[in-house]
Amino acid sequence: MKKLHRLCVFCGSSEGARPEYIQAARALGEAMVARGIGLVYGGANVGTMGQIASTVLAGGGEVIGVIPEGLVKKEVAYRELQDLRVVQTMHERKSLMNELSDGFISLPGGLGTFEEFFEALAWGQLGIHTKPSGLLNIQNYYGSLLKFLDHAAAESFMQQAHRDMLLVHEDPVALLGLFETYEPPDVDKADWIKGRHLKNMTD
């Protein structure tokens, strides 16, 4: 079982339509504090972002916020954080989050959450990092997305091993347990692409 020092959590500047989303943000924050895991997140004090940050802070945990200068006002930066890092671009934000974290969890969120999370997952697929990526699937929020990823694997646009990299659970404690036992797949995407190409040439 590996020790997770910090996890990056992608979440929304909105609280969503259901109280379960806010409850999930708090529950994940509490579970991280109980395990001594610090939080790296988008640096805002609103929505599910603000909820998880406040929960970890209240529990005495470490919180690092990373926010682009252009979003400081739009997303309402959590200025009370002892460690709020203001960067210039979204690319810098994601690069720093990756550098600071031992894995990535996505709570229910919108386009920004999807984009940040899938870049982290794609980096794992490419071998840029070997860190776990997971979805906290509250109220089956990501159910349709998971079906689409199954479809992508069935249509050979991604390997099943890479589809299986994605850790999913509706319970934050159980999801953290999956993170602690995660082993990255020993699969090279480039070799798989070459193999598919040769197969198509000989069919």
Q: pLDDT tens track of the chain, all 203 residues?
A: 788 999 999 999 999 999 999 999 999 999 999 999 999 999 999 999 999 999 999 999 999 999 999 888 777 899 999 999 999 999 999 999 999 999 999 999 999 999 999 999 999 999 999 999 999 999 999 999 999 999 999 999 999 999 999 999 999 999 999 999 999 988 665 554 555 544 454 55
- Listed by start position, the domains of the chain span 6-202
Of 2.50.20.10, 3.40.440.10, 3.40.50.450, 1.10.10.10, the CATH number of 6-202 is 3.40.50.450
Which residues have C-beta within 8 Å of that of residue 24, sequence separation ≥ 6?
A: 48, 107, 108, 136, 138, 172
Q: What is the pLDDT of residue 192?
A: 47
Give long-range contacts, CB 8 A cutoff, 24+ apart: 86-90. Answer: 86/43
Burial class (CB in 10 A: 0-12, 13-18, 19+), 164: exposed
The answer to whether the predicted template modeling score (pTM) of the entire model surpasses 0.85 is yes
CA 59, CA 34: separation in Å to the nearest integer?
A: 8
- The predicted pLDDT at position 187 comes to 66
Q: Which of 97, 101, 11 lies closest to 48 in space, CA to CA?
A: 11
**Coil, helix or strand for 184?**
coil
Nearest partner of 120 among 146, 93, 88, 139, judged by Cα: 93
